[in-house]
Amino acid sequence: MSREAVKAILAEPDSKTKVGLRDLTLMITLYGTAARISELLSIRIGDLHLDGSKPYVIITGKGGKIRTLYLLPKAVGFLRLYMKKYHGSNGGKEDFLFYSSIKGRTTAFSQQAVFKLLRKYAAAAHEKCDAVPLELHAHQFRHAKATHWLEYGMNVVQISFLLGHSSVETTMVYLDITTEQEMSALATIEGEKNQKVSAKWNPKTDTLSDLCGLRRPKS
C-alpha cells in the first residue's frame, strides 16, 4: 500500500466510539511496528512500556524470538487512550492487549475478527482513495511499513531486524528488491554503470613513462 492508502484507511474508524478507538489503535500499532498479525495479537499488557523517554513494546516472534520495537508518539497516544478505555485499572500484566469477551471470558482478539474489520474499513476508504485494496489483509500493513522504511532510506539490515527476519536475504525477497535495484544502488557516481571505456592513451605512440610524466631526456 502507498502512504496515501494507509492514511485513507486510518481515517475511517471513529475514535470517539469505543469500537472505533480499538480498531484505530490496532491498525496504528500494526502499521507502526510492522509486526505480524499473530505477534500483535499475542501482545500482553506487560509487554507495553509507555512511560519511559523511549516507549517500546516487546514482541515475541517466530521460534519464540524476542525483539524490542520502539513506538512513535501517535501510537503511544492512542495506546494510552485505548488502555484507559478497555483495561482501566483492572488490567493485569498477563492480560492480552487486544481481546474479546465471550460469555464473561476474555480471550485474545482473533485474526478472523481483524480480517473482518479491515475489510469493512477498506471498503469505505476505497471510495475516497482507490489505492486502498478492497481485499485488504493485515500483512499488507507490515509490507507497506517495510517498503516505506526502505523508501525513506533505512538500510535492509535495519529493516530485517525490525521485521524479525532470520536473514537479510529473506527481507530482500520480501521487499522485492531485484538484482537491477541492487546494481543501481551500487552505482554512486555518474558513469559507473557505463560499460564503454574510452582509450586514454595510444599504445603505439605513448609509453608508460609518458603517462606517468617520466619522459626520457633527448640524447
Q: Which of 36, 82, 99, 145 is catalytic?
A: 36
- Cβ atoms of 52 and 60 within 8 Å: the answer is no
Active-site residue flag, 3: no
The better pLDDT of the pair 89, 63 is held by: 63
Going through 13-91 in order, the beta strands assigned E by DSSP cover 48-49, 56-60, 66-70
**Mean of the per-residue pLDDT values for the chain?**
85
The Cα–Cα gap between 54 and 68 comes to 11
Active-site residue flag, 165: yes
Instruction: Name the CATH architecture for the domain at 3-179.
Output: Orthogonal Bundle (1.10)
Q: Which of 62, 65, 116, 193 is catalytic?
A: 62
The SS3 assignment for 49 reads: strand
Q: Which of 56, 70, 86, 174 is catalytic?
A: 174
pLDDT at residue 200 above 70? no
Active-site residue flag, 139: yes
What is residue 89's predicted lDDT score, i.e. its pLDDT? 75
What is residue 29's predicted lDDT score, i.e. its pLDDT? 96
Q: Which of 65, 74, 84, 139 is catalytic?
A: 139
pLDDT confidence tier of residue 180, bands split at 50, 70 and 90:
low
CA distances to 24, 186, 187 from 196, rounded to whole Å, are: 55, 18, 15
Q: Which of 31, 82, 121, 142 is catalytic?
A: 142
Active-site residue flag, 44: no
pLDDT confidence tier of residue 171, bands split at 50, 70 and 90:
confident
CA distances to 142, 185, 193, 202, 212 from 197, rounded to whole Å, are: 44, 21, 11, 14, 20
pLDDT confidence tier of residue 196, bands split at 50, 70 and 90:
low
Active-site residue flag, 148: no
Q: Which of 31, 82, 145, 165 is catalytic?
A: 165
* Residue 136 φ/ψ, nearest 5 degrees: -65, 135
Q: Where are the domains of the chain?
A: 3-179
Neighbours of 88 (CB within 10 A): 8
* C-alpha cell read off for 97: 492487549
Q: How far apart are the first and last CA of the chain?
A: 76
Q: Which among 83, 91, 106 has a CA at the least distance from the CA of 29?
A: 83
pLDDT confidence tier of residue 158, bands split at 50, 70 and 90:
confident
Quick: pLDDT tens for 31-41: 999 999 999 99
Does the model's pTM come out above 0.75?
yes
Active-site residue flag, 142: yes
